[in-house]
Amino acid sequence: MARLSLQNPEYYLNRDTSWLAFNGRVLEEAEDTGNPLLERLKFLAISASNLDEFFEIRVASMMQQIEDGYNEAGPDGLTLFEKRDILAQSTHRFVEDQYDCWNELRPAMAEQGIRVLAMDELGAEARRFVDEYCEKELDPLLTPVTVDPAHPFPRVINKALCLGLLLRRRRRSALTYTGVISVPRSLPRLVRLPSENTTDFIFLADLVAHHAEKMYRGYDIVAAAPFRVTRNSNLYLQEEEARSLLESVRAELHNRRKGDAVRMEIEADADPEIIERLRTVFELDPWQVFPVNGPVNLSRLFNIYDETARPDLKYRAFAPRELRLTAKSQNFFEELRRHDVLLHHPFDSYDAVLSFIESAAEDDNVLSIKQTLYRTNEHSLIVPSLIDAASRKEVTAVVELKARFDEAHNIRWARDMEDAGVQVFHGLVGLKTHCKLSLLVRRDADGVRSYAHIGTGNYNATTARIYTDLSLFTANPEVTRAVHDVFSFLTAYAENPSYEPLLVAPLDLAEKVTALIDREAEHARHGGTGRIIAKMNALLDKNVIQALYRASQAGVEIDLIVRGICALRPGVRGLSDRIKVRSIVGRFLEHSRIYYFGNSGEEEIYIGSADWMPRNLYERVEVLVPLRDELLRERVRREILDAYLADNRKARILLRDATYIRAWQPVHGKRNRKPPTGTAAFSAQDFLISVAEGKQAGLAPAPSAAKKHRAAVGRER
């Protein structure tokens, strides 16, 4: 067989179409009748929120590059113009699928007494409520605009709900004018209606349209339609020239609301004249206009989920497992002196992470605290703990101001901490601080010792309930010393020759990851067992992909569990026929990064903050840490990774043609939504909940069904 060129564009999948495929898997969960009804609604809202960000960031960046004259091809061989044309078709198909789903969910909800009503469906009591709401709550916040030489088109902020109108003066009926009403974000987009036996809502857009006639006295409203514009939300910072990164980010946040328009959503039955006038105002190409068969903002369906007290239509609640100390330990620090502790959230409670930092703030024996913060919840308990500790001990916080869409929170936290005496740093010029590190120095009875927490997820108690992540606590001197050195790198740009046993980006992580992959290939070439299992959010880096291709060619068996973007094409004969790729989309967002290397029986497992993407490997400060405790490695391998490889309920398998199929679906033939009768369903997340509740031993079943399916996929390829 001729040697295959690893530069061949056919061997690399397009990142944006791969991301859309991931969002399609989210939408599939909304379509899945096996999920509780309100959870299906929530998945639909998540898919809409995801698509918003995709346009704000990815599509906006692509359009900016085209405008600047760039048209280079990426690793997949597609130019920017070609990608734009592909996205123009695929995003419209996706939006059509979203609204097909909504129009299936709405009657199903109505059967359960959860109704989203139109104005002509309101009873007398509800109509009285609406009229009063419009007069007292809505009208004072609205400013109707008629566009004419004295009144220019108003500035419409990013993703704001608006009503566009065609108006005709009653005195001069020959001319039509454009009218615009922007709705303040302080009002709920779904208004709860009074009702006794049902849970009723009405969209705010319908109320604005209903009330518009009273706001445009002297006009006839020829037509009206709600619309929503999505704008470029990228930050463009010149860090080297900025006097203060904090002030620079703050200024750019203000400008973000004024970014160029990249998409307009508008009701499908809107008057064509309204659509054309708005398209011209926002300078959009026709493909950037999305007529929708329903509400213009599906992400607001979260409101229905939050305000509907129907636990029977939601996932069963469960209590996460609390950390228990062994009988010999008086406190958590003593426990860590005996052995490392690994927690798997949300199955293990996140309270231990919060307690680690809170107790350090209160413990007089703790001399210093160092903490990274990338994203944290609005009512974080961590930041107040750091502020409280600053008056009694040394506290250092590295706050990433450029964490997308969390910049405002982080600016506020940074200022509050600085005012309290915390030493606040904003990381390094040109690099985001994405690693999840906490380091305590404590005076124990036998001397001064350091304790560290290294995580795969953000210090955010809210997302910790819905994201799967790992937390490692350790007092290992080599690890804590290396964590200390990483903080020195973040605060002083002080580079060490080595950060062993940690892998640190952008210093050595990429090089060492490829070396670990190459080592498995060497084992296979010399008759040993080559084995790699890698779980991550995204796989995009070309160097890592090529290392995986080489390992597959050498005989290494590779399982990749990639939630979102995957640019690697599996199943190419002679190149990647030993690589299997699966994605898990379910109740919890799969967020943990786990990297397993068989190493001919001397297995190694790393966890941390880095995906295998260029931005993680070269543009961010990231950390991977090895699990040195054999019991912890056994747990990750047999309880966690084996469970994900055995999943045949929420797993999708990536085929060579870039499509995904359910793990239980045939490679050929009809793709049913439901598994065939008699299929033994296994969900990794359900299994891990059962383990946390003590209903099941922490040992995943052998993934025999998955192996059988992978063999069939291999034959197909």
Contacts of 89 (CB under 8 A, 6+ apart): none
Catalytic position from the list 434, 523, 591, 709: 434
Name the nearest CA neighbour of 597 among 555, 658, 642, 534: 534
Phi, psi of 399 (to 5 degrees): -105, 125
CA distance 334 to 332: 5
DSSP-assigned states of every residue in 271-338: -HHHHHHHHHHTT--GGGEEEESS-S-GGGGHHHHHH---GGGSPPP-PPBPP---TT-SSHHHHHHH
> Is the CB of residue 545 less than 8 Å from the CB of residue 565?
no
> Would you mind telling me the total number of residues written for the chain in this entry?
717
Torsion of CA 376, 379, 383, 389, to 10 degrees: -150
For residue 508, give the nearest of 617, 625, 620 by alpha carbon: 617
177-182: strand order across its sheet: 145-147, 177-182, 161-169, 219-231, 261-267, 289-292
Q: What is the DSSP string of 372-433?
A: EESS--TT-SHHHHHHHHTTTSEEEEEE-TTSTT-HHHHHHHHHHHHHHT-EEE--BTTBEE
Cβ atoms of residues 214 and 181 within 8 Å: no
Cβ neighbours of residue 210 closer than 8 Å, sequence gap 6 or more? 119, 130, 134
What's the CA gap between 218 and 70, in Å, rounded? 50
**Angstrom distance (rounded) from CA 435 to CA 71:** 33
Per the annotation, the verdict on 434 as an active-site residue is: yes
The answer to whether the CB of 164 falls within 8 A of the CB of 278 is yes
Task: Give the whole-angstrom CA distance, residue 712 versus residue 443.
Answer: 59
Catalytic residues: 434
